Structure 1
Amino acid sequence: MLQATIQSSFPAAAIEASDCYQVRIDGQPVFVYECQGAGYAVLSGSGTITIEIETKDCFLEAVVRPLRHGITPTQGAEAGKVLRFEIEAPAKLSVEFDGDIRTPLFIWINPPETEVRPDPADPTVRYYKGGEVHHAGEIRLQDGETLYIEEGAVVHGRVTADGASHIAVRGRGILDGSLWRENEGAKKYAMMLPARCNGVTIEGITVVDGPTWHLVPTACSNVRIENVNVLTFAGTGDGIDIVGCEDVTVENVFVRSKDDCIAIKAVDYFHKAGCRDVKRVRVSRSVFFNAEWGNALEIGYETRAETISDIEFSDCDIIHCQFEGYESGGTFTIHNGDRAVVQNVLYSNIRVEASEEKLVDIKIQFSQYSRDTERGQVRNIRFRDIAITGGLLPVSIIRGYDGAHMIDGVTFSGISYLGEPLTSTNAAKMVVELSKNVRFEQ
Structure 2
Amino acid sequence: MQQSTIHYQAPAAQIAASERYKVRINGQPVFVYGSQGAGYAMLSAEGRVTVEIEDSQAAEQVVVRPLRHAIQPIPDGGVLRFEAEAPIKLSVEFNDNIREPLFIWINPLEAQARPDPADPSVRYFRGGEVHQAGEIVLSDGETVYIEEGAVVHGRIKAENASNIAIRGRGILDGSLWREAEEGGKRHLMMLLAGCKQVTIEGISVIDGPTWHVVPAGSTHVAITNINILTYAGTGDGIDIVGCEDVTVDNVFVRSKDDCIAIKAVDYFHPAGLHEVRNVRVTRSVFWNAEWGNALEIGYETRCASISEVEFSDCDIIRCEFEGYESGGTFTIHNGDRADVHNVLYKNIRVEDSREKLIDIKVQFSQYSKDAERGHVRDIRFEDIAIVGGLLPVSIIRGYDAGHRIEQVTISNLTYRGEPLRGANEAKMVVELSKGIQFVS
- Aligned-CA RMSD value: 0.8
Q: Which ranges of structure 2 fall in alignment gaps of 5 or more residues? A: none
**Aligned mates of 1:383, 1:321 — CA distance in 2:** 18
Normalising by the residue count of structure 2, what TM-score does the alignment of the two structures yield? 0.99
TM-superposed deviation, 1:274: 4.9
- Could you say what secondary structure the match of 2:273 adopts? coil
Q: 1:256 aligns with which of 216, 239, 254?
A: 254
- Structure 2 partner of 1:5: 5
- Could you say what secondary structure the match of 2:271 adopts? coil
**Aligned mates of 1:230, 1:184 — CA distance in 2:** 20
Is 1:187–1:212's contact at 8 Å kept on the other side of the alignment? no
Is 1:399–1:433's contact at 8 Å kept on the other side of the alignment? yes
Over 6 Å off, 4+ runs: none
- Structure 2 partner of 1:114: 111
CA deviation map 1:341-391 (0-9, x unaligned): 000000000000011010000000000000000000000000000000001
Structure 2 residue 222 is the aligned partner of structure 1 residue 215: no
**Aligned mates of 2:273, 2:82 — CA distance in 1:** 48
Aligned-pair identity in percent equals 71
TM-superposed deviation, 1:181: 3.9
**Aligned mates of 1:218, 1:230 — CA distance in 2:** 18
- Structure 2 partner of 1:279: 277
- Structure 1 partner of 2:49: 49
Question: For residue 291 of structure 2, what is the amino acid of its counterpart?
Answer: W
**Aligned mates of 1:157, 1:271 — CA distance in 2:** 19
**Aligned mates of 2:272, 2:9 — CA distance in 1:** 42
Is 2:205–2:228's contact at 8 Å kept on the other side of the alignment? yes
**Aligned mates of 2:16, 2:257 — CA distance in 1:** 27
CA deviation map 1:129-149 (0-9, x unaligned): 000000000000000000000
- Could you say what secondary structure the match of 2:14 adopts? coil
Question: For residue 281 of structure 2, what is the amino acid of its counterpart?
Answer: V
**Aligned mates of 1:288, 1:157 — CA distance in 2:** 24
Is 1:292–1:323's contact at 8 Å kept on the other side of the alignment? yes
- Structure 2 partner of 1:145: 142
* Structure 1 residues 274 and 131: alpha-carbon distance in aligned structure 2, compared to 1, 3 A threshold: closer
Q: Which ranges of structure 1 fall in alignment gaps of 5 or more residues? A: none
Which range moves more in the overlay, 28-37 or 375-384? 28-37
Q: 2:101 aligns with which of 94, 101, 104?
A: 104
Question: For residue 8 of structure 2, what is the amino acid of its counterpart?
Answer: S
**Aligned mates of 1:187, 1:70 — CA distance in 2:** 44
Is 2:360–2:396's contact at 8 Å kept on the other side of the alignment? yes
- Structure 1 partner of 2:224: 226
User: How many residue pairs end up in the alignment?
Assistant: 439
Is 2:193–2:272's contact at 8 Å kept on the other side of the alignment? no
Structure 2 residue 332 is the aligned partner of structure 1 residue 361: no
Q: Within 5 A, what are the aligned runs for 1:5-154? A: 5-78=5-78, 82-154=79-151
Structure 2 residue 169 is the aligned partner of structure 1 residue 169: no
Is 1:318–1:350's contact at 8 Å kept on the other side of the alignment? yes
Is 1:187–1:211's contact at 8 Å kept on the other side of the alignment? no
TM-superposed deviation, 1:406: 0.2
TM-superposed deviation, 1:19: 0.7
Is 1:344–1:381's contact at 8 Å kept on the other side of the alignment? yes
Is 2:216–2:272's contact at 8 Å kept on the other side of the alignment? no
**Aligned mates of 2:192, 2:275 — CA distance in 1:** 17
Normalising by the residue count of structure 1, what TM-score does the alignment of the two structures yield? 0.98
Q: 1:196 aligns with which of 194, 206, 211?
A: 194
- Structure 2 partner of 1:242: 240
CA deviation map 1:231-281 (0-9, x unaligned): 001111000000000000000000000100000000010112251000000
